[in-house]
């Protein structure tokens, strides 16, 4: 066997180009088949674990897929948000603790999630550096968001404008980074968390104005002035940063019961309470839908797995074509090496020796292809969470 390994190694070394083509020609289909299946399984497991951790999701009428992905992954916008009155009604049932989510804005392309402190307890999110939300204009960054933005406690994070051409829209706001959360390995790592009032501030439903009661205020900013009253006009600039000096000037507009939340996470203490809560909102005239997140995710995965069948069939065709390619290369190689094989036979090697030699060469090529494919798969799985 020592002489076989020596001759096989020298043969592959002599034909480096052909060996490299065979190795990568085998490694690529092996990598694609195993990496795709592995990534799909990891993606499926990630979705199911997130759904299991969030039994119920509530929101306005519309697509159940959009609502679940919005509440679990902070993606997209829901067409019909709920109101704080709906949240209060859900709390009054006594079946669950409703945790509000209001996700409509971004800060440097990271989703800004308006919620309450109950969300951090529900997701078991702990502050690693700095402190928790304290007042209007504060934010807490997920671990991945903080790392990419290179921000920490005390930094300022401007929100993204909704529409650069909408001069009448809400202004971008500079959020004060109060703390950074520990890494959880979930979509929470790539979110910017604020309280609900700050989220409404980004909507334009809460704002603060410069002081217009002074005698030095420009007349163009006022509609009317009397000895006891000052009426400000729309031209008065809104504050875009909350500071200790102007925080008292911020106020909400409209009925607090009508303020929006894009989704709600009802946290029920047991399965019975969850069932009763869902039954309460099953009436056709209900404007609130409550979904079992896992059921919706499994339905979504069913659609994904249908596409995976196509990739499985494609992998089978690739395997067949690769096998035919390998057979063709071996046959052509044997024809080109006929003189070499004849020489081995004439110096005393049996016919079986040449067969074993060619088989060992193919085994070495297959082993190198597996090593290359394995290295590629390991790198892919290591980078998969970031992707």
pLDDT tens, residue order, the chain (387 aa): 566 667 667 777 777 777 888 888 888 888 888 888 888 888 888 888 899 889 899 999 888 999 999 999 999 888 889 999 999 999 999 999 999 999 999 999 999 999 999 999 999 999 999 999 988 889 999 999 999 999 999 999 999 887 655 544 556 888 999 999 999 989 999 999 999 999 998 888 876 655 545 455 455 444 445 555 544 444 444 556 777 777 677 767 778 888 999 999 999 999 999 999 998 888 777 889 999 998 888 888 887 777 777 777 777 787 788 778 778 877 777 776 677 666 666 666 666 666 677 777 788 888 888 999 999 989 988 887 666
d(CA 249, CA 207): 8
Whether 265 and 59 have beta carbons less than 8 Å apart is answered as: no
Task: Report the pLDDT value the prediction gives residue 45, as an integer from 0 to 100.
Answer: 84
- Please check whether residues 314 and 379 belong to one and the same domain: yes
Collect all residues with Cβ–Cβ distance below 8 Å to 207 and sequence separation of at least 6: 201, 238, 239, 250, 251, 253
* Beta strand ranges found along the chain (DSSP E): 56-59, 82-83, 97-107, 110-115, 127-130, 138-141, 156-158, 174-181, 192-195, 206-207, 222-225, 230-232, 251-252, 260-261, 263-267, 289-292
Task: Report the pLDDT value the prediction gives residue 234, as an integer from 0 to 100.
Answer: 47
For the chain, helix, strand, coil in percent to 5 are 50, 20, 30
Residue with tokens 């190689």, as numbered in its chain:
333
- Please check whether residues 24 and 112 belong to one and the same domain: no
β partners of residue 106 = 111
d(CA 200, CA 255): 13
Collect all residues with Cβ–Cβ distance below 8 Å to 319 and sequence separation of at least 6: 29, 33
Task: Report the pLDDT value the prediction gives residue 4, as an integer from 0 to 100.
Answer: 66
Task: Report the pLDDT value the prediction gives residue 129, as an integer from 0 to 100.
Answer: 94
- Please check whether residues 244 and 323 belong to one and the same domain: no
Task: Report the pLDDT value the prediction gives residue 208, as an integer from 0 to 100.
Answer: 65
SS3 state at 344: helix
- Please check whether residues 204 and 347 belong to one and the same domain: no
- Please check whether residues 215 and 321 belong to one and the same domain: no
Number of structural domains, the chain?
A: 2
* Helices 338-346/293-336 angle, 10° precision: 60
237, 270, 300 - which closes a domain: 300
Residue with tokens 């702990």, as numbered in its chain:
126
One DSSP character per residue, 272-311 reads HHHHHHHHHT-STT-S-EEEEHHHHHHHHHHHHHHHHHHH
First-residue to last-residue Cα distance in the chain = 46
Whose CA is closest to 186, among 142, 128, 141?
A: 142
Burial class (CB in 10 A: 0-12, 13-18, 19+), 348: exposed
- Please check whether residues 252 and 340 belong to one and the same domain: no
- Please check whether residues 209 and 240 belong to one and the same domain: yes
- Please check whether residues 151 and 268 belong to one and the same domain: yes
Whether 13 and 362 have beta carbons less than 8 Å apart is answered as: no
Hey, what are 32's tokens? 């694609």
Give the sign of the dihedral formed by CA 141, CA 147, CA 151, CA 153: positive
Task: Report the pLDDT value the prediction gives residue 226, as an integer from 0 to 100.
Answer: 53
User: Dihedral, CA atoms, 178, 182, 187, 190, nearest 10 degrees?
Assistant: 50
Residue 16: what are its φ and ψ, rounded to 5°?
Answer: -60, -45
- Please check whether residues 241 and 308 belong to one and the same domain: no
- Please check whether residues 125 and 259 belong to one and the same domain: yes
Task: Report the pLDDT value the prediction gives residue 99, as an integer from 0 to 100.
Answer: 95
276, 300, 324 - which closes a domain: 300
- Please check whether residues 114 and 34 belong to one and the same domain: no
- Please check whether residues 153 and 140 belong to one and the same domain: yes
SS3 state at 264: strand
Domain that holds residue 124: 55-300
238, 270, 300 - which closes a domain: 300
* Helices 351-383/16-52 angle, 10° precision: 40
């Amino acid at each position: 066997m020592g002489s076989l390994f020596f001759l096989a190694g020298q043969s592959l070394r002599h034909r480096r180009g052909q060996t490299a083509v065979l190795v990568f020609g085998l490694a690529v289909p092996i990598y694609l088949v195993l990496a795709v299946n592995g990534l799909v399984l990891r993606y499926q497991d990630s979705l199911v674990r997130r759904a299991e951790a969030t039994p119920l999701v509530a929101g306005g009428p519309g697509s159940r897929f959009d609502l679940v992905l919005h509440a679990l992954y902070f993606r997209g916008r829901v067409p019909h948000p709920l109101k704080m009155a709906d949240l209060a009604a859900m709390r009054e049932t006594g079946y669950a603790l409703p945790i509000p989510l209001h996700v409509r804005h971004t800060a440097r392309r990271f989703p800004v999630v308006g919620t309450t402190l109950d969300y951090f307890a529900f997701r078991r999110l702990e502050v690693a550096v700095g402190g928790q939300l304290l007042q209007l204009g504060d934010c807490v960054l997920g671990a991945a968001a903080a790392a990419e933005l290179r921000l920490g406690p005390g930094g300022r994070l401007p929100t993204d404008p909704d529409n650069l051409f909408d001069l009448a829209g809400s202004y971008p706001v500079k959020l004060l980074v109060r703390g950074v959360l520990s890494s959880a390995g979930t979509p929470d790592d790539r979110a910017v968390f604020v309280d609900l009032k700050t989220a409404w501030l980004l909507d334009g439903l809460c704002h603060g104005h410069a002081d217009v009661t002074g005698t030095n205020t420009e007349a163009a900013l006022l509609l009317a002035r009397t000895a006891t009253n000052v009426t400000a006009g729309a031209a008065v600039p809104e504050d875009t940063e909350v500071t200790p000096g102007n925080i008292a000037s911020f106020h909400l507009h409209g009925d607090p019961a009508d303020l929006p939340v894009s989704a709600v996470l009802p946290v029920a203490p047991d399965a019975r309470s969850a069932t009763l809560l869902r039954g309460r909102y099953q009436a056709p005239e209900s404007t609130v839908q409550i979904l079992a997140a896992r059921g919706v995710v499994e339905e979504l995965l069913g659609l994904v797995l249908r596409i995976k069948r196509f990739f499985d069939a494609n992998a089978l065709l690739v395997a067949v074509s690769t096998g035919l390619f390998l057979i063709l290369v071996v046959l052509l190689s044997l024809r080109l090496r006929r003189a070499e094989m004849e020489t081995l036979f004439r110096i005393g090697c049996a016919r079986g020796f040449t067969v074993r030699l060619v088989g060992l060469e193919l085994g070495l090529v297959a082993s190198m292809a597996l090593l290359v494919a394995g290295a590629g798969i390991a790198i892919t799985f290591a980078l998969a969470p970031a992707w």
